[in-house]
Amino acid sequence: MKPVTTDKPLPITNAIAIDKPYDTINKICAILTPYAQYVEFDNNNNAPLYFNEQDYCYLLLEGNVALIRQQDDLIVGWETAPFIFGLSNAHPFSPLTLSASENARLLCLPRQKAFELFSQLQLWESLTTVLVYITDRIFQHCKRVSQVTAYQTVRFLLLEFMQESPQVRERIPALYYIQRRCHLSRSGIMGILARLQKGKYITIHRGRLQALIRLPKRI
């Protein structure tokens, strides 16, 4: 299997830049792929982390996948290929599900089988590297949801959005990206974006975030 390549985002000042272990993830995907099968999505391009009374690991080889909290449809995580979902424990009644982009290519295999291979092939160091990255991403999410004001939340999400590849930013409107990741109202987000645009802190064209010049601590 050819290693998955992706456009690595440029670091943005004041953003939380987390180094993704591309080589390690590609290595694990290459080892697990012969034991995995392609995912058949439901009508909404969703896939559960738990089904048929088993926990599953998902290998994201192409595209993007969002991790969605089912109770309120909030996006709590987002990954671009390559990535591996399901390495941590998933409860049978887990409120999380995967939502894939149209161009996503996902394979899955039982989590138990994946860990048997980790043990047989002594891949614990590689697994630990990926789990450390996942932990950093969880911390990033916790910092996002703990912002005090509406502006701080929008500011954090704009910085996070600029970490995505240009292709992702061109495909997803800035308003949609922010609204799906917080509980702020649509009008409130639009008001903050309009003020930032007017102050020439950001450039938005047809809803797409084109440039982030700088973001003040307060507005």
If one counts every other C-beta atom within 10 angstroms of the C-beta of residue 24, the result is 19
pLDDT digits (tens, 9 = 90+) for 132-177: 999 988 888 777 777 779 999 999 999 989 988 898 899 999 999 9
Whole-number Å distance between alpha carbons of 117 and 39: 20
Task: Determine the pLDDT at residue 176.
Answer: 95
> In a 10 Å sphere around its CB, with 0-12 CB exposed, 13-18 middle and 19+ buried, how is residue 192 labelled?
buried
Regions of the chain with pLDDT less than 50: 1-15
Q: Tokens 């995995």 label which residue? A: 36
Whole-number Å distance between alpha carbons of 186 and 175: 8
- ∠ CA 60-64-65, nearest 5°, is 75
- Parallel, antiparallel or unpaired: strands 96-100 and 46-48: antiparallel
Contacts of residue 118, Cβ cutoff 8 Å, sequence gap at least 6: 124, 126, 127
Please report, rounded to a whole number, the percentage of residues in the chain having pLDDT higher than 70: 89
Give the three-class secondary structure for 150. Answer: helix
Task: Determine the pLDDT at residue 18.
Answer: 79
Mean pLDDT value across the chain: 86
Domains in the chain and their CATH numbers? 22-145 (2.60.120.10), 150-212 (1.10.10)
DSSP symbol at 217: S
Q: Greatest CA separation found in the chain?
A: 58
Are 62 and 2 in contact, with CB atoms under 8 Å apart? no
Task: Determine the pLDDT at residue 125.
Answer: 96
